Amino acid sequence: MGNTLHIQHATYIGSYIQESQCPRDGKPEFAFIGRSNVGKSSLINMLVGRKKLAKVSNTPGKTQTLNFFDVDRRLYIVDLPGYGYAKISKTKRKEWSRMVHAYLQKRATLQVAFVLLDANIPLQQNDIEFLNWCGEAHIPIALVYTKLDRMRHNKQQKNLAAIRKGLLEYWESLPPQFETSAVDGTGREQMWAFINELTAQYYARQDR
């Protein structure tokens, strides 16, 4: 794949437990969230071209804070705690949920939340619940199908069609969608074209 995007700097800024602690310098933000073990850290690392920027773990539930990464001093990537199968207490799960919901609802600089779905498994109930909550709360979202390298193309496309059909039982139309693989870089250029377009629009509005 031809690499049309070269990122000069991708830097960890900090981890926060509530929205009010997050950076206030006005850069546009792009959040990443999904069910635990959906491949979120691997996708972030693939996008920024760094192997170990976001910590990859085989144990679901390792991301427990709002983690900010600065990209070329012009935007933030925000790694949010996953939902689903993390082996944590109900109390801690509620804390994470409150933290994530507050961030998504209050953050004026948030441009879009990328919601990650595993391309190899059926649509999960907690994915439906989270996506429907985003719709009701008017959170701007895009769908990212992960791990496209793991299954034969025909079988995978059938599964993706089933996921879309399932979502259209609740949604009149689907938000932007991206098919990705952290292994071979599939979807990287398409996602950056989308991110760069929203970033340019954001700064154009600030200059008015």
In a domain, 43, yes or no: yes
Q: Which pLDDT score is estimated for 120?
A: 93
Q: How many domains does the chain have?
A: 1
State yes or no: pLDDT of 3 exceeds 50.
Answer: no
Cα torsion 136, 137, 143, 147: sign = negative
Which residues form the domain of 117? 10-206
What CA–CA distance (Å, rounded) separates 1 from 131? 31
What is the number of H-type helices and E-type strands within the chain? 5, 7
> Which CATH number characterizes residue 105's domain?
3.40.50.300
In a domain, 2, yes or no: no
Q: Which pLDDT score is estimated for 4?
A: 45
| Angle, alpha carbons 199-205-208 (nearest 5°) | 145
- Tens digit of each residue's pLDDT (9 = 90 or more) over 57-116: 554 445 688 999 999 999 999 999 888 755 667 777 788 888 999 999 999 999 999 999
- Tens digit of each residue's pLDDT (9 = 90 or more) over 187-201: 999 999 999 999 999
* Order of strands, sheet of 141-146, starting from the edge strand that comes earlier in the sequence: 10-16, 66-71, 75-79, 29-34, 110-118, 141-146, 177-179
Cα torsion 175, 176, 177, 178: sign = negative
In which band, very low, low, confident or very high, does the pLDDT at 148 lie, cut at 50, 70 and 90?
A: very high
Q: Which pLDDT score is estimated for 86?
A: 57
| Contact in structure between 146 and 39 (CB atoms under 8 Å) | yes
**SS3 label, residue 56:** coil
CA-closest candidate to residue 206, choices 73, 105, 61, 109? 109
- Tens digit of each residue's pLDDT (9 = 90 or more) over 107-136: 999 999 999 999 999 999 999 999 999 999
Structure token pair of residue 79: 């790694």
In a domain, 130, yes or no: yes
In a domain, 37, yes or no: yes
**SS3 label, residue 183:** coil
Average pLDDT, the chain: 89
Q: Which pLDDT score is estimated for 100?
A: 93
In a domain, 1, yes or no: no
Q: Which pLDDT score is estimated for 85?
A: 57
In a domain, 180, yes or no: yes
What CA–CA distance (Å, rounded) separates 18 from 131? 21
State yes or no: pLDDT of 207 exceeds 90.
Answer: no
